[in-house]
Structure 1
Amino acid sequence: MRPTIGLTPLYDEEKQSFWMLPGYLEILEQCGAAPMILPLTANTEVLEACFALCDGLLLTGGQDVAPSFYGAEMQETCGAVCPSRDAMEAELLRRALAMNCPVLGVCRGLQFLNAALGGTLYQDLPTERRSTVEHHMAPPYDRAVHKVTVVADTLLSEILQKKELGVNSYHHQGISKLAPALREMAHAADGLIEAAYLPEKRFVAGVQWHPEFAFRKDPDSVKLAQAFVNACAENRQKKYCSRY
């Protein structure tokens, strides 16, 4: 049976609606998972019931992480935030880490993972960390705009079996101080961390680029998603076996 992967929803403040980019769902389905969009709520009873159905957790992109979440003052260059989503993802991540449940963060997801584990963020790269690397590309988003160097002997190098890859890039924030428990998996030419993971867990990782936009043309995006889905399938099997 397919592993069930819970996805955190995106929130449109203007329309007051929840939504999801179809690419997230499509890449997970292609890799053999059953994706499930979670409700945007910080109600612990609701999250407990939903998380019980999940074999993995995908932290999607979206609004900026609230600076207060990592102990900083909000600057004018910071974008829109969604505190209710920060609270929801904090609770879900807490449960996932406690149960050794696989987690994959994409863009904001990587940034949130870092902030939740004690790291900090650049609130606006163009004003805080000038670079010639294109971190905020124009569409189409299914193409590589810069390269990243993959750190040897990490989860990402194990999955991709390569030292460098081209990635798309659509973000204005990024990791400033890496959380103590995380280990860097990849960085851009300007030194900005582009991927990190938690070595002590089965599969807890985040990437700054967007596999959900690139997977139709990029085999590396599929390999990453497939490794995540495989970890979720293993988690499902262990959960199933423990019941009998």
Structure 2
Amino acid sequence: MKPVIGVMPLFDNQKDSIWMLPAYLDLLEKYGAIPLILPFTTNQENLDYFLGQCDGFLFTGGQDVSPELYGTLPSELSGEPCLKRDKMEIYCMQKVIAMDKPLLGICRGIQVLNVVNGGTLYQDIAAEYSTQIAHDMTAPYDRVQHSVKLLKEGPLFQLLEKENLGVNSYHHQAIKDLAPNLEATALSADDLIEAVYMPDKKFVWAVQWHPEFFGTDTVVNERLFKAFIAKC
């Protein structure tokens, strides 16, 4: 039987509505899973039902994480947070990790994972970090913006069998202080953390780039999503 993957819904603050990029679901379906978009709620009893029923979880991209969650006042360059989404995803992520269910984080997902485990973020890379790399690219997003180095001791290197990987880059925030129970598995040329994993868990991985914009026809996405789904 195919595993069921709970997908965190995207939220539009201006339209007060949930939405979804179909490519997240396409990647899960093509590589052997049944995607299920979770309801947008902070009702823990309702969330517990889905946390129990789903075999794995995909934490999607989206809004900036509220700086107050990592002990910092918001700067004027920090984007408008969605506090309900923060609350929902933090609750879900803590429970998923405690249950040792597989988890894959993308963009915002890597940032939530770091914050949940005690790390911090740069609220705006351009203002807080000296770099010549443009991490917040413009459309179209299905192209390489820069390369990342896969660390040889990490699982991404073992999975993809390459030291350098071209990625897109659509974010203005990034990991600052890495959470103590996470380990980096990819770095950009300016040494920003681009991927992490939790060594003592079945599968807790997260990447800063956007696989969904590259679609279902790349070897990298195929290996990444098959590895995730195989653990579910």
Within 5 Å, which residues of 2 pair with 1:219-230?
219-230=219-230
SS at match of 1:52: helix
Deviation (angstroms), 1:218: 2.7
Report the TM-score when normalising by structure 2: 0.98
How far apart in 1 are the matches of 2:33 and 2:42? 25
Q: CA RMSD in A?
A: 0.9
Asked if residue 190 in structure 1 is aligned to residue 183 in structure 2, the reply is: no
Partner of 1:21: 21
Within 5 Å, which residues of 2 pair with 1:25-174?
25-174=25-174
Deviations 1:158-177 (A, max 9, x none): 21111111001100000000
Deviations 1:165-211 (A, max 9, x none): 10011000000000000000000000000000100001001100011
- Indicate conservation of the 8 Å contact 1:59/1:103, yes or no: yes
Residue-pair matches, total: 232
- Indicate conservation of the 8 Å contact 1:188/1:194, yes or no: yes
| Stretches (4+) displaced over 3 A | none
How far apart in 2 are the matches of 1:28 and 1:49? 21
- Indicate conservation of the 8 Å contact 2:94/2:116, yes or no: no
How far apart in 1 are the matches of 2:93 and 2:216? 29
How far apart in 2 are the matches of 1:216 and 1:139? 19
Task: Report the AA paired with residue 175 of structure 2.
Answer: I
Partner of 2:3: 3
- Indicate conservation of the 8 Å contact 1:5/1:54, yes or no: yes
Gaps of 5+ in 1: 233-244
- Indicate conservation of the 8 Å contact 2:26/2:216, yes or no: no
Deviation (angstroms), 1:83: 1.0
Task: Report the AA paired with residue 221 of structure 1.
Answer: N
Deviation (angstroms), 1:18: 0.3
Deviations 1:106-153 (A, max 9, x none): 000001100110000000011111311121111111111100000112
- Indicate conservation of the 8 Å contact 1:142/1:217, yes or no: no
Report the TM-score when normalising by structure 1: 0.93
Identity over aligned pairs, percent:
49
Deviation (angstroms), 1:217: 4.6
Partner of 1:241: none
